[in-house]
Structure 1
Amino acid sequence: MEKLELRLLRGLPGSGKSTLAQTLGLVHLEADQFFVNEEDLYCFDGTLLSSAHQWCQSQCEFNLYHGKSVVVANTFVKQWEMDAYRKIAKKYNAELHIEVCKGQFKSIHNVPESVIKRMRKEWEQ
């Protein structure tokens, strides 16, 4: 049986996480997908951010459980934000890879520059 893989792509909005994730041939997940409606429109609601991350983690676990390797593209500004995924990888004996994206593109989710600036300031290597 092929070794399961869990790849975490972290970086600021506009760093190329989603673009890279789409090229890897793995199940591609990100918390932002939670905010895409039936008409394929992105409708962000900050009050649901915790639910979005819970959804992303449960989808990750579901796919690993079913033998599918996963790539998760979230900002992961703080190290602790990856802890749940580290536990999931361990639970399913998946090889964990963490990669930082550093490209400088326009954010596809129109994140305000003030938010990106704050994230940059709070970034943990």
Structure 2
Amino acid sequence: MTAKLTLIRGLPGSGKSTLAKTFEVDHFEADMYFVDADGNYRYQAEKIGEAHQWCQSMTEQSLSNRNNVVVSNTFVRRWEMMPYYKMAKRFGAEFEVIECHENYGNVHGVEPHVIETMKKRWQEWRSEAQ
């Protein structure tokens, strides 16, 4: 059985996490790294690199067990998706990218000017980029 790795990308508040939760597969996102044992979200900007490394490690572990995985992160730039694309290739997993474009208001308090900056930096995912 071939595993599948699905990336869900979009700006903060676009519905990524909500959509990811509808998949009955292993689900990871960098924001999960900042949730404490009591379920409280405590973002720490200086640990964002660790959060993304954790997300990639969890994804790799699931794929190594032939589990289907969905990862929901902003993935504004193509290079941010490449480690996952390469991981899918390494494990022979199907790879899919879904984009969310709605605006539900973000639950993590990301400032509008930050979202606007992300929007300006947005890169489309194209097969040529792979």
Tell whether the structures are fold-level matches, with TM greater than 0.5: yes
Alignment of 1:10-21 (within 5 A): 10-21=9-20
Quote how far apart the aligned CAs of 1:106 are: 1.1
1:71 matched to 2:107? The reply is no
After TM superposition, where is structure 1 displaced by more than 4 Å over at least 4 residues in a row? Answer: none
Task: Pick which of 70-79 and 102-111 moved more.
Answer: 102-111
Alignment root-mean-square deviation, CA:
0.7
Count of aligned pairs: 124
Question: TM-score scaled to structure 2, two decimals?
Answer: 0.93
CA distance in 1: counterparts of 2:4 and 2:54, whole angstroms: 19
Q: Which runs of 5+ in 1 are unaligned?
A: none
Distance 1:79 1:7 in 2: 15
In 1: Cα distance, 2:37 partner to 2:66 partner: 27
Report sequence identity in percent: 44
Could you tell me which runs of 5 or more consecutive residues in structure 2 were left unpaired when the two chains were aligned.
125-130
| Cα displacement string for residues 13-36 of structure 1 (whole angstroms, at most 9, x for unaligned residues) | 001100000001111100000000
CA displacement, residues 60-101 of structure 1 (integer Å, 9 cap, x when unaligned): 000111121100000000000001001110111110000111
